[in-house]
């Protein structure tokens, strides 16, 4: 096992099976968002650093492609066992660098392991189709083949799970990989890389370069990168999609969200309040599946708002490694200021602030980036707080006269990642599913998170591409279907 950092506290890149220092001298601190403690420094790799990683991946490709798929899958079987063995340690590291609570960290690691587990079935998933006698004595078959080097650029909010949406699928289908993780919390994934070595992954199959925009640009422009996945804000997703497509690469770019949760008057308000609160305030609101706008239909608004407000007021803010903590800090000082300024703007534009988390503090951790649960009502879709992704623990309540009005209100928003409906009517739920036009739909579920076997990704301004992450889409994304027509 290699040290996570060099003597100066800068974490290394992982290239061709070696831990190597980036040649760039630019770096950023990685800090614990609850305590303010400096954990490490992350290098901002340059074009040359990225070039070395892509070269290593390209060199490893021919032998890895020829490795039988059952052997490739066995590496993932061993990795799954190691991840399970180390899950508690990984969860501690994740809470330290991200701030989420211990149970949220364990949940994230479990979701990541499920993707590794799914790729253990690659011998079956990779099979093609055959049709005999498409003409007399002529047979036709499809074979799925890998393409070469793929890359992913991932965000800070799920620094373990989101990389595992991509590289396990890419490598078990026979490709090699370069990951550019978030520069804000890259440490826990370094430990997972160490586990891939223990699992027997050959050098160069998985490479990691740390950095920011410069490293991303280098990946986008590199001719040997055949395809690229991005997860992050919509603004960047759109740029990545356009640039990668212009470079002739496969690309999927998952963006931001403003998720609407529609509550009908026939719903069970206690259950809904529990689910909606967990959705909005879980991970301090830093989830692309977090509920944001609660739309109370007809008489549902007042009771659901009161119940969520009560729950929000009772939430305990604190350091996620300690007991009895419901919500951790947000990732950084600048992000806390961003969330606070959204709340300021919400007040200025006429939203009624029922609970204000702007000045929240945790006495034992004065350097933490705290934002308390915040609740607005009288929010209109054109207000900044009703329109933009806040990515913090802020609930906004609004009213609709009917389900039709609620759907119309939701469609005025440019995003389309997830939505939920709460009702006891199957007919209403079906009608909603039919017309929602959003990719991830919860029916009496407030965080509609698809398991590894299903596609994960949004629609409208939340997604640029066609094939999503995970599920069968991942197999499609990482392979080309070759059709062979034979006569003997
Ligand atoms: P971000 O867009 O700031 O950064 C994401 C990645 O892109 C990072 O690796 C970062 O280094 C890189 N990056 C940032 N700016 C760039 C630029 N100008 N050019 C090239 N690369 C750049 O996002 P974040 O703050 O890390 O993550 C939060 C965002 O991610 C939210 O909008 C959230 O909704 C979204 N997200 C979406 C999903 C999904 O499934 N749709 C999942 C998780 C997070």
Tell me the per-residue pLDDT of 289-323, one tens digit each, with 9 for 90 and over: 999 999 999 999 999 999 999 999 999 999 999 99
Q: In this structure, are 272 and 325 located in the same domain?
A: yes
pTM: 0.98
Q: In this structure, are 331 and 408 located in the same domain?
A: yes
Q: What does the pLDDT average to over 327-344?
A: 98
Q: Could you tell me the distance, in angstroms and rounded to a whole number, from the CA of residue 233 to the centre of ligand 1?
A: 4
Pocket, ligand 1, Cβ cutoff 6 A? 153-158, 180, 182-183, 212-213, 216, 231-233, 236, 254-257, 288, 389, 391, 417, 458, 462
Q: In this structure, are 338 and 230 located in the same domain?
A: no
Complete DSSP assignment for 129-170: -EEEEEETTEEEEEEEEE-SEEEEE--SSSTTTTGGGTHHHH
pLDDT at 2: 52
Percent of the chain scoring above 70 in pLDDT: 99
Q: In this structure, are 308 and 177 located in the same domain?
A: no
Q: In this structure, are 22 and 141 located in the same domain?
A: yes
Closest approach atom of ligand 1 to CA 458: 41
Q: In this structure, are 206 and 247 located in the same domain?
A: yes
pLDDT at 137: 97
| CATH at 392 | 3.40.309.10
Residue 416 bridge partners (DSSP): 459
Q: State both tokens at 373.
A: 């649960």
Q: In this structure, are 229 and 271 located in the same domain?
A: no
- Residue 451 belongs to some domain of the structure: no
Range of the domain at 473: 13-255+462-487
- Residue 454 belongs to some domain of the structure: no
Q: In this structure, are 314 and 399 located in the same domain?
A: yes
Closest approach atom of ligand 1 to CA 182: 9
pLDDT at 4: 62
Which residue in 120, 140, 283, 288 is the catalytic one?
Answer: 288
Mutate to test the pocket of ligand 1, among 43, 186, 209, 232 (most ligand atoms within 8 A of CB): 232
288 is catalytic: yes
83-107 pLDDT, tens per residue? 999 999 999 999 999 999 999 999 9
Which residue owns the Cα nearest ligand 1 atom 16? 213
pLDDT band at 217 (very low <50, low <70, confident <90, very high): very high
Q: Which of 163, 208, 205 is nearest to 75 (CA)?
A: 205
Q: What are the start-end ranges of the H helices in 247-332? A: 269-281, 301-314
List, in order, residues 6 or more apart from 104 with CB less than 8 Å away.
95, 282, 283, 320, 328
How many domains would you assign to the chain? 2
Q: Could you tell me the distance, in angstroms and rounded to a whole number, from the CA of residue 414 to the centre of ligand 1?
A: 17
152-179 pLDDT, tens per residue? 999 999 999 999 999 999 999 999 999 9
- Residue 453 belongs to some domain of the structure: no
Mutate to test the pocket of ligand 1, among 233, 456, 457 (most ligand atoms within 8 A of CB): 233
| CATH at 54 | 3.40.605.10
Q: Could you tell me the distance, in angstroms and rounded to a whole number, from the CA of residue 124 to the centre of ligand 1?
A: 33
Q: In this structure, are 192 and 243 located in the same domain?
A: yes
Q: What does the pLDDT average to over 454-461?
A: 98
pLDDT band at 285 (very low <50, low <70, confident <90, very high): very high
- Residue 169 belongs to some domain of the structure: yes
| Average pLDDT taken over every residue of the chain | 97
Task: Name the region of 168 (left: φ>0; alpha: ψ -120 to 50; beta: rest).
Answer: alpha
Q: In this structure, are 370 and 417 located in the same domain?
A: yes
Q: In this structure, are 273 and 133 located in the same domain?
A: no
Q: State both tokens at 415.
A: 């995003």
- Residue 191 belongs to some domain of the structure: yes
């Amino acid at each position: 096992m290699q040290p996570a950092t060099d003597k100066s506290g800068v974490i290394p890149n992982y290239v061709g099976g070696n831990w190597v220092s980036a040649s760039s001298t630019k770096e950023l601190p990685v800090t614990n968002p609850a305590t303010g403690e400096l954990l490490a420094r992350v290098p901002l790799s340059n074009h040359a650093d990225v070039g070395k990683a892509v070269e290593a991946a390209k060199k490893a490709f021919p032998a890895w492609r020829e490795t039988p798929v059952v052997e490739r899958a066995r590496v993932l079987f061993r990795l799954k066992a190691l991840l399970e063995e180390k899950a508690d340690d990984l969860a501690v590291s994740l809470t330290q660098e991200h701030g989420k609570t211990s149970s949220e960290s364990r949940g994230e690691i479990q979701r990541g392991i499920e993707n590794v587990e799914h790729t253990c079935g690659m011998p079956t998933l990779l099979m093609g189709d055959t049709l005999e006698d498409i003409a007399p004595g002529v047979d036709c078959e499809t074979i799925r083949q890998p393409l070469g080097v793929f890359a992913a650029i991932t965000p800070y909010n799920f620094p373990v799970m989101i990389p595992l949406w991509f590289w396990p699928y890419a490598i078990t289908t026979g490709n090699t990989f370069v990951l550019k993780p978030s520069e804000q919390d890259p440490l826990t994934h370094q430990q997972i890389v160490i586990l891939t070595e223990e699992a027997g992954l050959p050098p160069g199959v998985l490479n990691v370069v740390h950095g920011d925009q410069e490293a991303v640009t280098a990946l986008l422009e590199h001719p040997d990168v055949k395809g690229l996945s991005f997860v992050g804000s919509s603004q960047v997703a759109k740029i990545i999609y356009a640039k990668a497509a212009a470079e002739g690469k496969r690309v999927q770019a998952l963006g931001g969200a403003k998720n609407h949760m529609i509550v009908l008057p026939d719903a069970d308000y206690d259950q809904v309040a529990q689910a909606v609160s967990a959705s909005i305030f879980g991970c301090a609101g830093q989830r692309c599946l977090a509920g944001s706008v609660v739309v109370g239909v007809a008489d549902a608004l007042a009771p659901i708002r009161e119940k969520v407000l009560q729950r929000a007021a009772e939430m305990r803010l604190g350091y996620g490694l300690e007991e009895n903590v419901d919500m951790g800090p947000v990732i950084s000082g600048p992000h806390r200021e961003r969330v606070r300024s959204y709340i300021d703007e919400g007040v200025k534009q006429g939203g009624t602030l029922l609970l204000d988390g702007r000045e929240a503090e945790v006495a034992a951790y004065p350097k933490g980036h705290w934002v308390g649960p915040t609740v607005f009502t009288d929010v209109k879709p054109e207000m900044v707080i009703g329109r933009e992704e806040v990515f913090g623990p802020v609930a906004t309540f609004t009213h609709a006269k009917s389900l039709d009005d609620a759907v119309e209100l939701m469609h005025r928003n440019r995003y389309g990642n997830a939505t939920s409906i709460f009702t006891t009517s199957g007919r209403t739920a079906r009608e909603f599913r039919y017309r929602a036009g959003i990719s991830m739909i919860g029916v009496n579920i407030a965080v509609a998170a698809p398991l590894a076997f299903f596609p994960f990704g949004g629609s409208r301004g939340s997604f640029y591409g066609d094939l999503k992450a995970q599920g069968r889409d991942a197999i499609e994304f990482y392979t080309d279907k070759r059709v062979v027509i034979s006569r003997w």
